[in-house]
Amino acid sequence: MMKTISVKTDSHTQFIDITGEIKSVVADSNVKQGMAVVYVPHTTAGITINESADPSVRTDIINSLEKNIPWSDNYRHSEGNAAAHIKASLMGSSVNIMIENGRLVLGTWQGVFFCEFDGSRSRKVIVKVIESS
């Protein structure tokens, strides 16, 4: 089963918790054992798994990325969004999450975050649920 999740970002850099949407896709699939592949088909956005309980963790990650990869620097990319491409590459374009007993295998504090680096935009995330025996 494969499903596309729509994500609307409203700021230049933003982490959006999409854990609930991914859980819904897994529930709809009726897969009890397997893997959820979560893929972002954009070159200026990424995906990560990190703490979802304390929003200051997201802020710290964003601030650290901005400090180390500033929007304006001596980049050669002519579109002016090279920093967004670099940040997206560092975060990665996909995560794999095990499914056990029909549920995502995540740690107590973990959530799945869509990472926007060139917003605001309408984006998509593709979730593929793969059943294993």
**pLDDT tens digits for the chain (133 residues)?**
999 999 999 999 999 999 999 999 999 999 999 999 999 999 999 999 999 999 999 999 999 999 999 999 999 999 999 999 999 999 999 999 999 999 999 999 999 999 999 999 999 999 999 999 7
Model pTM above 0.95: yes
Whether residue 111 contacts residue 71, with contact meaning beta carbons closer than 8 Å, is answered with no
Gyration radius of the chain's alpha carbons: 16
Closest CA to 48 of 6, 17, 77: 17
In whole angstroms, what is the distance from residue 118 CA to residue 92 CA?
A: 15
- The CATH classification number of 2-131 equals 2.60.120.460
Contacts of residue 92, defined as CB under 8 A and 6 or more positions apart, other chains included, come to: 46, 47, 48
Nearest to 98 by CA among 35, 4, 32: 35
